[in-house]
Amino acid sequence: AQSVTQPDIHITVSEGASLELRCNYSYGATPYLFWYVQSPGQGLQLLLKYFSGDTLVQGIKGFEAEFKRSQSSFNLRKPSVHWSDAAEYFCAVVFMEYGNKLVFGAGTILRVKS
Amino acid sequence: DTGVSQDPRHKITKRGQNVTFRCDPISEHNRLYWYRQTLGQGPEFLTYFQNEAQLEKSRLLSDRFSAERPKGSFSTLEIQRTEQGDSAMYLCASIRQGSYEQYFGPGTRLTVT
């Protein structure tokens, strides 16, 4: 079955440190993948997306993600975290056979310590 | 503001009452999606519309839930006889024809007491 796994429920990093959030997917065809960010009580903001082509994609706010087909992964990275990056991050895959609905992981809560 | 809007942002209701939420998508977007997000989980798909046609409903959408998009513009999600398990954030998203990028509204937080 199509699914998205985010193994880390919480991650704490120091301000200025690098960040990597993990995402693994299970999908039979070529996946279309997204990372969204959600601040408390807010909706979802798209950080970046991968459809095809270059496997390293750049997004907003200095984030990037790398698609690795052999590992079924789409990990999110940022070289230097800012306190304002504290939020919850969701990885998602488009389920194209069913009206392009999104299937989300359970999310990773990022805490930034000063 | 040309983004997706939802109303109300917060709703507190007593068990057994009916509630209705509204979503206004981005104007040129022909597809509209509803998701539900409970605490500690990612959003889960409920249903979607292409123009005014409701094309799919999740098994999460029990008989107490109904959604409409009467003129292919705004959509409403109604929950009848609310239960405490309905407490969640209800998110709406829209997408334009041929795209895969969903734009989300701020959500409606429902609390059933």
Residue B86 identity: D
Sign of CA dihedral A40, A45, A50, A56: negative
Average pLDDT over residues A99-103: 89
Instruction: Say if residues B102 and B93 touch (Cβ distance below 8 Å).
Output: yes
CB contact under 8 A, A107 and B100: no
Angstrom CA distances, B100 to A17, A69, B96, stand at 32, 20, 8
**Closest partner CB to A49 (pick from B6, B101, B103):** B101
pLDDT at B1 over 70: no
**List of chain A residues whose C-beta atoms are within 8 Å of the C-beta of residue B105:** 43
- Exposure of B75 in the CB half-sphere (CA atoms within 13 A): 33
Q: Is A84 exposed, middle or buried (0-12, 13-18, 19+ CB in 10 A)?
A: exposed
If interface means Cβ-Cβ distance under 8 Å, which residues of chain A face chain B? 4, 9, 32, 34, 36, 41-46, 49, 51, 90, 92, 94, 96, 98-107
Q: What is the per-residue DSSP string for A12-37?
A: EEETTS-EEE--EEE-SS---EEEEE
Q: How confident is the model at residue A2 (pLDDT cuts 50, 70, 90)?
A: confident
pLDDT at A100: 86
pLDDT exceeds cutoff 70 at B56: yes
CA neighbor of A110 nearest in space, from A5, A3, A22, A4 = A22
CB B31 within 8 A of CB B95: yes
The answer to whether the CB atoms of A104 and B40 lie below 8 A apart is: no
Amino acid B60: pLDDT = 83
- The shortest C-alpha distance from B24 to chain A (Å) reads 14
For residue A44, list chain B residues with Cβ-Cβ distance below 8 A.
Answer: 43, 91, 93, 104
Q: What's the confidence (pLDDT) of residue A42?
A: 82
Instruction: With CB atoms and an 8 Å threshold, state whether B55 touches A4.
Output: no
How many C-beta atoms lie closer than 10 Å to residue B23's C-beta?
27
* Tens-digit pLDDT profile for residues A16-70: 999 999 999 998 777 899 999 999 878 899 999 999 888 999 999 999 999 999 9
CB A112 within 8 Å of CB A53: no
pLDDT at B52: 93
Contacts of B63 (CB under 8 A, 6+ apart): none
Q: Which of A82, A90, A84, A109 is nearest to A14 (CA)?
A: A82
If you count DSSP H runs as helices and E runs as strands, how many of each does chain B have, helices first? 0, 11
Question: Residue B32 pLDDT > 60, yes or no?
Answer: yes
- Inter-chain touch A99–B100, beta carbons under 8 Å: no
Interface test mutation site (partner A, options B49, B100, B108, B109, max chain A beta carbons within 10 A)? B100
